Amino acid sequence: MTTYTNFTVETDSDGIALVTWDMPDKSMNVFTQEVMDELEAILDSVTADDAVKGAVVTSGKSTFSGGADLTMINGMFDLIRQEKATNPQGAAKMIFDQVGRMSWLYRKLETSGKPWVSAINGVCMGGAFELSLACHGRVAADSDAVKMALPEVKVGLFPGAGGTQRVPRLTNQQEALMMMTTGQNLSPKKAKSMGLIHEIAPPDELIAAAKKMILDGLKPVQPWDEKGFKLPGGAIWSPQGAQLWPAASATLRKQSYGNYPAAYAILKCVFEGLQVPFDTGLRIEQRYFTEILQTPEAFAMVRSLFVSLQELGKGARRPAGVEKTSFSKVGVVGAGFMGAGIAYVTAKAGIPVVLIDRDQEAADKGKAHSEGLVAAAVKKGRMKQEDADKLLSLITPTTDYAALDGAELVVEAVFEDQGIKKAVTEAAEAELKEGAIFASNTSTLPITGLAKNSRRPNDFVGIHFFSPVDRMMLVEIILGEETGDKALAVALDYARAIKKTPIVVNDTRGFYVNRCVMRYMGEAYSMVVEGIPPAMIENVAKMAGMPVGPLALNDEVAIDLSQKINRATIADLGEGAVDPRHVELIDTMVDEHGRHGRKNGKGFYDYPEKPAKKHLWPGLKDLYPQQAADDISVQELKNRFLATIALEAARTMEEGIVTDPREADIGSILGFGFAPYTGGAISYIDSMGVAEFVAMCEGLAVEHGSHFEPTPLLKEMAPKGETFYGRFGEKTQMAA
């Protein structure tokens, strides 16, 4: 056996080398420069040793590999910044050479003259799947834990180590494009049906099956290196290609509105690469990857959706010196839609949960929510029946607060009423052991005020979930004035246990996400009042990168709720706190037309019975005189939507509500889908440049109101050339 830092190589009596990737001190294998150096050394050794007939590469961990390492990604962006500063003329060539390292290493492997087989035992993502595709044989374990994907497009990149060339040479171009432009996960069965792997084997027979491929005479030549190779889905210039390519380009345009350069690069790599020899295709891919790596979209998306997301998910904001909490029991008080969802995600994480409501019928109804979710998952093959039964067994519906005894955490999710929340807090705390944490899932009531109901405000914290709880990745951890480090640490430990991404927010009306969402919807109200056609409002918002138009979003959260928020805000802060035009619009919708949103089938949209689709309410355009669409600047509407949200994000940082730009970015993307290609609301400002953003906002303020006036902090930062990430000391520094 030969041992490297990250690999072991053991050659059996049949002359087959088993290359086992098992990085020390890491839970998952990832690509680093050292890993690639060692892999190349192993490849050279296998190639040179006449006693070795072939090699099987697998993982010594439960997963195969998650792809690239954070430090490697950071290193790429640092290198780009340094090279552009010191050698702008040669920067592109340097980047081109650097990004080709992995691609040409894989090409060296597949042309080495000896057969290689990848034995995929678990999650296999990105560069690791591209390594597998470069192997001459691929065997995956028959397990739900095995997922294969090329997900780079989700972080602003694309498969740049041969993925865009190998996938469409193994499967038809339509499926190849779908897989790479969406980053979808493939099960072993799906991957085999696409021709991306050759065999599926029982987990305990995986290595034997991989070795057998070599012993059975696996050719050390890839299909595209064979004479007479033909593309499985037909050539680019063929009747099949003539049907596919115009539609593929149009579909991508419809889905992305041109906001994601990496997705377009995938189409270009495949379209151009399949018309030339394979090595030329790899160089085409390398050139496009060099280009994409230098785009602001790639930098911002990698920073937020790869680096920051992982850092926050691992507890970047967790207080030091507080022992980690392992949960043996969690209580949820309030078995309505939100409470039932919280109970579900808690039980799904393997944590016993007590679900309390005022009567047994209500508590049982809360558990029935989980029963419905697991039944649907079992029906779709996403969950085994035994796993469903185990999950449900962990939920105990009851009316008895004594059942909370022994819980490390209780989450209150009752109606947004101060009196009800006070009663629940007192009843729960009477049963909790010393040191247990009480959390309120509130979306509107300040945590500091709610904590006054507690005998121990130091152990009181807010955990704001988003609906539907089982699908939304984000939670806001809200700190009251007296919330202690242990309460924060327990809340973060809980978020990690249930696989949610937390952001830490100081106490304020609307916290962070809802403040930004209200600005988004408020700008739409202004546009409706101005007579901008409602369809244009919705479509331009999606063109700007938002997943849902603001009017459709308001229907989901309920228009009558917006009315209640308006009235509560005016009662607390005075008439000037809400634009009177907005009050009039919402009151007209609710009071005169009975349009409350999706919940009563009538909002800004009409909701006919299925299979008919929802459509904008025709009467909406009759409320105000309509402008001619041709006279309206689409770019200015896009700027209004993005700027009003980004300004609110900047305000929260200036006020100290959000203290870390990573959290402002992640919160805006995961909370309500703020244009992911920007990297988030704060990255949007930093990428544009604060001075340019200030100038844009000043112009918008002249035309559309004082709410676009730049904040004092922005005006201070603009002449200095500062960025939010630079000023607020984000720990994971990346190139600017």
Output the six-digit token pair for 126: 């990105």
pLDDT digits (tens, 9 = 90+) for 157-201: 999 999 999 999 999 999 999 999 999 999 999 999 999 999 999
Handedness of CA 479, 485, 486, 489 (dihedral sign): positive
Report yes or no: 146 and 266 within 8 Å, Cβ to Cβ. Answer: no
Stretch(es) of the chain classified as CATH 1.10.1040.50: 514-727
Instruction: Tell me the mean pLDDT in the region 653-677.
Output: 95
Superfamily name and number for 330-509: NAD(P)-binding Rossmann-like Domain (3.40.50.720)
pLDDT at position 629: 93
d(CA 590, CA 594): 5
Residue linked to tokens 């402002």: 664
d(CA 517, CA 308): 22
Nearest of 172, 178, 112, 180 to residue 149 by alpha carbon: 180
φ and ψ of 90, to 5 deg: -100, 5
Strand partners, 412: 333, 440
Angle between helices 360-379 and 337-348 (to 10 degrees): 50
φ and ψ of 516, to 5 deg: -70, -40
d(CA 331, CA 352): 9
- Output the CATH code of domain 514-727: 1.10.1040.50
Where in the sequence numbering do the catalytic residues fall?
464
How remote is the C-alpha of 479 from its chain's centroid? 24
pLDDT at position 79: 80
pLDDT digits (tens, 9 = 90+) for 509-540: 889 999 999 999 999 999 999 999 999 999 99
Q: Is 465 helix (H, G, I), strand (E, B) or coil?
A: strand
Residue linked to tokens 């290196």: 225
Kindly state the DSSP code that residue 482 receives in the 8-state scheme.
T
**Looking at this protein, which amino acid is placed at residue 63?**
T
d(CA 461, CA 440): 7
Instruction: Return the C-alpha torsion angle 128, 129, 130, 133, nearest 10.
Output: 130
pLDDT digits (tens, 9 = 90+) for 188-197: 999 999 999 9
Q: Please, which residues have CB within 8 angstroms of residue 634's CB and are 6 or more apart in sequence?
A: 540, 543
When the pLDDT of each residue in the chain is averaged and rounded to a whole number, the result is 93
Nearest of 144, 102, 142 to residue 126 by alpha carbon: 102
pLDDT digits (tens, 9 = 90+) for 49-77: 999 999 999 999 999 999 888 677 777 78
pLDDT digits (tens, 9 = 90+) for 316-364: 889 999 999 999 999 999 999 999 999 999 999 999 999 999 999 999 9
Strand partners, 124: 65, 148
Strand partners, 117: 56, 137
281-312: burial string, b at 16+ Cβ within 10 Å, e else = bbbbbbbbbbbbbebbbbbbbbbbbbbbbebb
Report yes or no: 508 and 423 within 8 Å, Cβ to Cβ. Answer: no
pLDDT digits (tens, 9 = 90+) for 288-318: 999 999 999 999 999 999 889 989 988 888 9
Q: What Cα–Cα distance (Å) separates residue 424 from each residue in 350, 399, 411, 412, 553?
A: 25, 12, 10, 8, 31
Within 10 angstroms of residue 645's Cβ, the number of other Cβ atoms is 26
pLDDT at position 730: 52
Where residue 420 falls (left for φ over 0; alpha for ψ -120 to 50; beta otherwise) is alpha
Confidence of residue 467 (pLDDT cuts 50, 70, 90): confident
d(CA 672, CA 458): 30
φ and ψ of 162, to 5 deg: 100, -5
pLDDT at position 381: 86
Report yes or no: 193 and 133 within 8 Å, Cβ to Cβ. Answer: no
Confidence of residue 442 (pLDDT cuts 50, 70, 90): confident
Least trusted range by pLDDT, from 108-117, 239-248, 723-732: 723-732
pLDDT at 736 over 60: no
pLDDT cut 70: percent of the chain above it: 99
State in words which class domain 2-294 has.
Answer: alpha beta
Report yes or no: 180 and 154 within 8 Å, Cβ to Cβ. Answer: no
Within 10 angstroms of residue 268's Cβ, the number of other Cβ atoms is 17
pLDDT digits (tens, 9 = 90+) for 647-663: 999 999 999 999 999 99
Stretch(es) of the chain classified as CATH 3.40.50.720: 330-509
Residue linked to tokens 């807090």: 425
